[in-house]
Amino acid sequence: MGAAAVLMVCASLTVVDGDTVKCDGQLLRDMGDGAPNVSGYDTAEIGPRAKCVAEQQAGEQAAARMRELIATPGLTIENSGKRDVYDRPLVVLRLPDGTTIGHHMIEEGYARVWTPGYVADWCSG
């Protein structure tokens, strides 16, 4: 955990999609092992933002896995103090073993590494 990180406490933590959660009504963007606005991870969109059936399905699978992972007892939320382009706080969701949810999402094939300039394409196979 970086020196600037502040632990957050949520009465209610819910999944929006595979890389975004809601803490007591506030959207939070998980960075995984990344750094604010430099690196992180991306998952497919769901609902009206999905561009094709494949993206919708991949997004639903990622969201389901995120729901499983945030239910882990001892999960911590580290707020980097930075925000993304959508004004969401950039956080790290860390499991009790020290690994990040983003690490697992990438390793298990639910997510891709994000860096500036990344363009999501979940529809062309």
Q: What is the pLDDT of residues 62-87, one digit of tens each?
A: 999 999 999 999 999 999 999 998 99
Which residue in 35, 33, 118 sits closest to 80, CA to CA?
35
Average pLDDT, integer, range 29-48: 93
CATH of the domain at 30: 2.40.50.90
Query: Do 115 and 38 form a contact (C-beta atoms < 8 A)?
Result: yes
Domain of 22 in residue numbering reads as: 6-114
Q: Does some domain include residue 125?
A: no
Query: Do 7 and 77 form a contact (C-beta atoms < 8 A)?
Result: yes
Quick one: pLDDT at residue 124? 86
Number of domains in the chain: 1
Q: How far is residue 60's CA from residue 26's CA, in Å, rounded to a whole number?
A: 21
Query: Do 31 and 21 form a contact (C-beta atoms < 8 A)?
Result: no
Beta-bridged to residue 94, according to DSSP, are 76, 100
Q: Does some domain include residue 1?
A: no
Q: How confident is the model at residue 120 (pLDDT cuts 50, 70, 90)?
A: confident
